[in-house]
Structure 1
């Protein structure tokens, strides 16, 4: 005979959250963008027409369009020639997302500087395979500008150029994922550096020049070793400054 008695302890179920209408609308529009039916520069139908097609209120339609705007998929323009326009791909969503996580305390300075070391090692290996003479010239120009900023005592410009070096390096990979991720990490790092204040770090530019020699030879192991050594040294310096500021 089957035992139909109740379990000894109450069953625990996860509450089901019904999908909101605006999420379904945004999902359908995302699908059209992903499939290529909607292309960068295309304008979506007017809000009134979209509301009728989806059979929802205009408030719900506006909420869906705002969600797409926050996702970096559309731009909402005002005026007679306005509307919702599909945007080309942009790393801004990743950059803004990482920046928000940093300001909320979800990314610590230790995690940020650690991630930069790992990410840069991958970027350097790919760069050694794909870098062009034009890329090398752009990187050399960055080093020259950073040297001039150092000589002029312009800390903010020098720090910005040194961080931008990593973004330019990521561009040489021709990989949008690596480039966008490096942009996000670099933007947050700039914010962190501004917060801890000026530091000399005279070893950075000499290391950059040694790195460029390895990059020109496409010696990935030597290039990664040089870059990693520099970033680990900078990490110790940055975290030491940050901890001192926290104690002050």
Structure 2
């Protein structure tokens, strides 16, 4: 377990404005941006912060809670607890996007547009950045997805289908692209579960073609294949999208009666609907 470290040189300035919590947040963020606070750094105690900022402990508590909700701090309990700088912050990005999606601010057309733009540039960059071991991981993913399709294992195939894009994002060596890809995929899965899955008929041929182009490091051709595939999915998803607020679809989906599923032949199982 990584131990948090206390930065003894860290000092905060007294707060003088009418919104003390906001000014506390601004000072903490400035220390993060300047590198004076790093992942694992432990802030002073609530009592010490109250003294440094010259505000009430309630104002400090409010600011720390907001910073925790942003994904910047982790409030730990116990003798060695207190506010500690978190690593990554992916949860905060996903949480914020999820809230906007649920509220209808992010609509299906926004989600699918970003997925096309992001997916195309990810594969283009991956073509020039990956190594052989990473390509082997991607090749194994495609093989396992094909086996899951043959076995009619819908849940595993869906998981592997989405992991394909995550592996590509890791191959770029760009943590921002990894974070954004993961957030978009989580929202995509949620959206597709509400509107209906896609046929697997075109997925595996696209995967195998992508592997071939990656092996050749043909970035333009790989980007073109990804663009065509994601735009096809975009048309399918938007056609199935419910009218009105996208976030309201989950309630309708939950209240819909379930239908019995008929047994599938091997060929039907391979082409059964999945999230991609």
TM-score w.r.t. length of structure 1? 0.86
Aligned to 1:147: 146
Q: How many pairs align?
A: 230
Which secondary structure state, in structure 2, belongs to the residue aligned with residue 84 of structure 1? strand
Structure 2: distance between partners of 1:243 and 1:88? 37
Specify which structure has the bigger relative contact order, considering alpha-carbon pairs within 8 angstroms and separated by 6 or more residues. 2
Q: Alpha-carbon deviation of 1:19?
A: 5.5
Q: How does 1:89-238 map to 2 (within 5 A)?
A: 89-238=88-237
Q: Alpha-carbon deviation of 1:237?
A: 2.1
Aligned to 1:11: none
Q: Alpha-carbon deviation of 1:20?
A: 1.4
Q: Alpha-carbon deviation of 1:145?
A: 2.3
Q: Unaligned stretches of 5+ in structure 1? A: 1-17
Deviations 1:162-203 (A, max 9, x none): 122112111111112222211211111011122223443311
Structure 2: distance between partners of 1:155 and 1:196? 16
Q: Alpha-carbon deviation of 1:58?
A: 0.9
Summarize the Cα distance change of 1:199–1:125 in structure 2 as closer, same or farther, 3 Å threshold: closer
Summarize the Cα distance change of 1:242–1:154 in structure 2 as closer, same or farther, 3 Å threshold: farther
Query: Contact between 1:164 and 1:186, CA under 8 Å: does it hold in 2?
Result: no
Q: 215-224 vs 135-144, which deviates more?
A: 135-144
Query: Contact between 1:116 and 1:185, CA under 8 Å: does it hold in 2?
Result: yes
Query: Contact between 2:195 and 2:242, CA under 8 Å: does it hold in 1?
Result: no
Query: Contact between 2:24 and 2:53, CA under 8 Å: does it hold in 1?
Result: yes
Which secondary structure state, in structure 1, belongs to the residue aligned with residue 41 of structure 2? coil
Deviations 1:218-241 (A, max 9, x none): 101111111111111222222233
Structure 1: distance between partners of 2:88 and 2:26? 17
Q: Unaligned stretches of 5+ in structure 2? A: 1-16, 244-248, 257-276
Q: Alpha-carbon deviation of 1:56?
A: 0.8
Structure 2: distance between partners of 1:143 and 1:50? 52
- CA RMSD across the alignment: 2.0
Q: Alpha-carbon deviation of 1:103?
A: 0.9
Q: Alpha-carbon deviation of 1:243?
A: 4.5
Which secondary structure state, in structure 1, belongs to the residue aligned with residue 241 of structure 2? helix
Q: Alpha-carbon deviation of 1:59?
A: 0.8
Structure 2: distance between partners of 1:208 and 1:163? 12
Which secondary structure state, in structure 1, belongs to the residue aligned with residue 60 of structure 2? helix
Structure 2: distance between partners of 1:227 and 1:116? 10
Which secondary structure state, in structure 1, belongs to the residue aligned with residue 84 of structure 2? strand
Structure 1: distance between partners of 2:214 and 2:174? 18
